[in-house]
Amino acid sequence: MRMLLVGALLITMTSAAMTCSALADDDDAKSAQKLAQQGRDDYWHCLAREYSRDSNQGLSEQDFGRSVAGACPSERQYYRVALLDYLTTQYPDIDAGAHLATANRAVEAAQKDIVITFVKHRPPQK
């Protein structure tokens, strides 16, 4: 009887530990997601400031693209790292190189989107 009671207690303790671990993992994932979203928003706001600079209005698409690629280095890096951390937390079994490639594609997509917006909204050339 005593062994049965000890076994039940061990099962209960193991279950509780697993639940606490799952909740902690969930908190880590939510925190990582929030930081990735904040990084994305900060990067986008910086790109929007770059877009609205008066000095960029006369640039060609290629020149503006180069300007955007070099703009906001700290925001870009923070976004990349926060997204990498989130992907690693969400998908720990996937190779880190794949996560880095995904984060790099997200940064490139943001840059491409701002260039497309720039081209769409610039005044027609005379």
Q: With a cut of 50, which residues of the chain have pLDDT below it?
A: 2, 4-10, 17-23
Quote the pLDDT of residue 83: 94
The closest of 102, 82, 72 to 38, measured between CA atoms, is 82
Quote the pLDDT of residue 121: 77
Separation in Å, CA 60 to CA 52, 53, 64, 117: 15, 14, 6, 13
Tokens of 107: 């940064």
Cβ atoms < 10 Å from Cβ of 71: 19
Domain segments of the chain: what residues?
26-121
Q: Cα(10)–Cα(14) distance, rounded to whole angstroms?
A: 6
The answer for residues whose C-beta is within 8 angstroms of residue 106's C-beta and 6 or more apart is 40, 79, 80, 83
Cβ contact 35:85 at 8 Å = yes
Quote the pLDDT of residue 53: 86
Quote the pLDDT of residue 20: 43
